[in-house]
Amino acid sequence: MKYLTLLTLIFSLTSCNQKSASDTIEIDKEKLLSDLQILSHDSLEGRGFGTKGNLKGQQFIVKRFKELDVAAAFENGYSQSFSHTIGGRRRQRAFPISDPLEDFSNVPDTTLEGANIAVMIPGKTDKVIVITAHHDHLGIINGKIFNGADDDGSGTASLFAMAQYFKSKSLKHTLIFAAVDAEEVGLAGSMYLVDNFPVNLDKVSLNVNLDMISHTDSLKLWATGLYHYPQLRPPLDAINSPIKLWFGHDDPNDEELDDWTDNSDHQAFHERNIPFIYFGVDDHVDYHRATDEFENINPEFYVEAVRLIIQAIEGYDKMLD
């Protein structure tokens, strides 16, 4: 790995001086990485919205949640089906100019079927923290498979590790883990989820969104949302991890950092005035490229990022009403 030596050095130096989340939060590292490898395998053909590969991905996600023996969140089971029309109007949010899907002016409107997949771990109250990650990616473009290991296989695979960790805990909040579809075609899955939420939306205290948490050129993990919801900072300040957590990418007046407020599935919750924290890395050399492969992630960074986010969820469970 390009950055593995540096990252290993940072972790070893940090561990000499303090205990980290690695010492207290147990997750199955091998299974986490194996799940990500499966989600980003060529056989899923890039998990493009409305494709057979995407359906294979859905089936794998349902299978994993069933293996963990966590309850389906929807009345009719694990999946929430919906349709969405793509085409000339497909781009509803800004991507880099070099994005391979930038020009849709000549693409006819096509209505495709997708599905969100979600599970629920009941808490002591009916207040809810919902953790989201999108399971779709770009599919096949010009004969190349865009497997989306980091974007967002990493977030999706982490949902399994987190569900396994929390299912034996006794939390105040009910946790809903949702792998949403159609993020890459305008956040359609998360919008549908919010419009058709499995519980009363008034019960949702927080959205924690995970989008690209396994591959970093800068060794930075960002927590975005504090500009809008500054009251959410204390649990983040209390995190003890070898990864340094950075804050930003949410201030529209910041001329140095892009504003990510509308760039992923947390937007659907933010539009309903539901507080969010979005965990993600900076755009990297493989972002929206066919090279976003499992072999190019930073495994140690990824494992520690998942542990860090678990700490954040535990902190919010204690802090929020």
Q: What is the pLDDT of residues 265-282, one digit of tens each?
A: 999 999 999 999 999 999
Task: Please state, in angstroms and rounded to a whole number, the distance separating the CA atoms of residues 173 and 219.
Answer: 31
Q: Is 13 left (phi over 0), alpha (psi -120 to 50) or beta?
A: alpha
- Predicted confidence (pLDDT) at residue 100 exceeds the cutoff of 60: no
Reported residue count of the chain is: 321
Q: Write down the residue that tokens 């209505």 correspond to.
A: 111
CB atoms inside a 10 Å sphere around CB 99:
14
Neighbours of 228 (CB within 10 A): 15
Q: What percentage of the chain exceeds 70 in pLDDT?
A: 87
pLDDT at 1 over 50: no
HEC per residue, 142-199? CCEEECCHHHHHHHHHHHHHHHHHHCCCCCCCEEEEEEECCHHHCCHHHHHHHHCCCC
Nearest in space to 303 (alpha carbons), one of 44, 7, 68, 61: 7
Region 221-230: what's the mean pLDDT?
A: 98
- The pLDDT assigned to 142 comes to 94
> Residues 240-250: pLDDT tens digits?
999 999 999 99
pLDDT digits (tens, 9 = 90+) for 64-87: 999 999 999 999 999 999 999 987
CA 59, CA 277: separation in Å to the nearest integer?
A: 28
Q: Which CATH architecture has domain 4-9+28-83+112-319?
A: 3-Layer(aba) Sandwich (3.40)
Strands (E), 109-150: 110-121, 128-134, 139-141, 144-146
Q: Give the mean pLDDT of 4-30.
A: 61
Where in the chain are the domains? 4-9+28-83+112-319
Q: Which two tokens stand for residue 247?
A: 């804050």
Alpha-carbon distance values, 279 to 190, 207, 236, 262 (Å): 16, 11, 11, 13
pLDDT digits (tens, 9 = 90+) for 52-63: 999 999 999 999
Which residues, at least 6 apart from 127, have a Cβ–Cβ distance to it below 8 Å?
A: 172, 173, 174, 203, 204, 205, 320, 321
- What's the pLDDT tens digit per position in 139-179? 999 999 999 999 999 999 999 999 999 999 999 999 999 99
* pLDDT at residue 41 tops 70: yes
* pLDDT at res. 22: 62
| Confidence tier at 11 by pLDDT (50, 70, 90) | very low
Confidence of residue 108 (pLDDT cuts 50, 70, 90): confident
When pLDDT is cut at 50, 70 and 90, the band that residue 20 belongs to is: low
The whole-number average pLDDT for the span 254-273 is 97
Dist CA 38 CA 70 (whole Å): 21
Give the per-residue pLDDT at 19: 61
CB 193 within 8 A of CB 180: yes
Mean of the per-residue pLDDT values of the chain: 90
pLDDT digits (tens, 9 = 90+) for 113-149: 999 999 999 999 999 999 999 999 999 999 999 999 9
